[in-house]
Chain A
Amino acid sequence: MAQPLFGMLHRPAGAVRRTGIVLCTSWGTEYLRSYRGLRQLAQALSHSGFPVLRFDYSGTGDSGGDGRSARVDTWTADITLAAAELRTSTGCDSICLLGLRFGALLAQEAIATGAVAASAIALWDSPPSGEVFVRNLQQMDEALNEKVSQQRRRRSQLPPPARDELLGHEWPEGLAADIGRLPGLRKELPGRVIFVSRDRTPPDSVESIRLPDAGHWSDVERIHSPWIPGPSIRIVAERLADGLP
Chain B
Amino acid sequence: MNERAISFGESGSLFGILSQPDVADPLRPAVLIPNTGVSHRAGPSRMHVELARALAAAGVVSLRIDNAGLGDSEPIPGRLGDPFAPDLRAAMDALDARNLSSGYIVLGIHSGAHDAHQAARGDPRVVGAAFIDGYTHRTPRYWINRTMDRLADSARRANAELRPQIGLTRQSGDALHDALLNEIHYYDLPTAARMQLDLVEFMRREMSLLYIYTGDVENEYNYPGQLIEAFPLLRGYRRMTLRHIPEADHRFIRRASREAMIDVLVSWVIRVPGQPH
> Which residues of A are interface residues toward B (Cβ below 8 A)?
6, 8, 32, 35-37, 39, 56, 60-62, 67, 144, 148, 150-159, 161-162, 165, 167-170, 213, 216, 221-222, 224-231
Pair B249/A158 contact, Cβ less than 8 Å = yes
- The residue among B17, B246, B252 with the most chain A CB atoms within 10 A of its own CB is B246
B266 within 8 A of A: no
What residues on B are CB-neighbors of A32 within 8 Å? 39-40, 42, 44
8 sampled A-B residue pairs with Cβ under 8 A: A32-B39, A35-B39, A62-B41, A150-B156, A153-B153, A158-B254, A162-B255, A228-B173
Pair A165/B180 contact, Cβ less than 8 Å = no
Pair B173/A168 contact, Cβ less than 8 Å = no
For the A-B complex with A150-B157, A168-B252, A222-B181 known, give 4 more contacts whose Cβ atoms are closer than 8 Å: A8-B72, A39-B71, A155-B246, A213-B178
Number of interchain pairs (Cβ within 8 Å): 113
What residues on A are CB-neighbors of B247 within 8 Å? 156-159
> Which residues of B are interface residues toward A (Cβ below 8 A)?
3, 5, 17, 37-42, 44-46, 49, 70-72, 149, 152-153, 156-158, 173-174, 176-181, 215, 218, 246-249, 251-257
Q: Which of B37, B41, B49, B72 contacts A224 (CB 8 A)?
A: B37
What residues on B are CB-neighbors of A159 within 8 Å? 247, 254, 256-257
Distance to closest chain B CB from A119 (angstroms): 28
Q: Once the chains are docked, how many angstroms separate the CA of A39 from the CA of B41?
A: 14
Pair B44/A62 contact, Cβ less than 8 Å = no
Distance to closest chain A CB from B41 (angstroms): 7
What residues on B are CB-neighbors of A60 within 8 Å? 46
Majority secondary structure of chain B interface residues (helix, strand, loop or mixed): loop
Q: Once the chains are docked, how many angstroms separate the CA of A231 from the CA of B40?
A: 22
Pair A144/B156 contact, Cβ less than 8 Å = no
Distance to closest chain A CB from B198 (angstroms): 28
- The residue among A148, A159, A225 with the most chain B CB atoms within 10 A of its own CB is A225
Distance to closest chain B CB from A164 (angstroms): 8
- The residue among A60, A148, A150 with the most chain B CB atoms within 10 A of its own CB is A148
Pair B177/A229 contact, Cβ less than 8 Å = yes
Pair B181/A224 contact, Cβ less than 8 Å = yes
Distance to closest chain B CB from A112 (angstroms): 29
Pair B253/A158 contact, Cβ less than 8 Å = yes
Pair B181/A161 contact, Cβ less than 8 Å = no
Given contacts A35-B71, A36-B40, contact A230 B218 (CB under 8 A): no
Distance to closest chain A CB from B72 (angstroms): 6
Pair B180/A225 contact, Cβ less than 8 Å = yes
What residues on B are CB-neighbors of A226 within 8 Å? 38, 176-177, 179
Pair A156/B218 contact, Cβ less than 8 Å = yes
Q: Which of A6, A67, A152, A216 contacts B215 (CB 8 A)?
A: A152
Q: Which of B72, B174, B180 contacts A228 (CB 8 A)?
A: B174
Pair A148/B72 contact, Cβ less than 8 Å = no
Pair B254/A36 contact, Cβ less than 8 Å = no
Pair B153/A154 contact, Cβ less than 8 Å = yes
Q: Once the chains are docked, how many angstroms separate the CA of A104 from the CA of B221?
A: 43
Pair B177/A158 contact, Cβ less than 8 Å = no
Distance to closest chain A CB from B196 (angstroms): 28
Pair A222/B44 contact, Cβ less than 8 Å = no
Distance to closest chain A CB from B247 (angstroms): 6
Q: Once the chains are docked, how many angstroms separate the CA of A224 from the CA of B70?
A: 14
In the A-B complex, list the 3 residue pairs whose CB atoms are closest, starting with the nearest.
Answer: A168-B253, A156-B215, A230-B174
- The residue among A151, A168, A230 with the most chain B CB atoms within 10 A of its own CB is A168
Distance to closest chain A CB from B183 (angstroms): 9
Distance to closest chain A CB from B54 (angstroms): 12
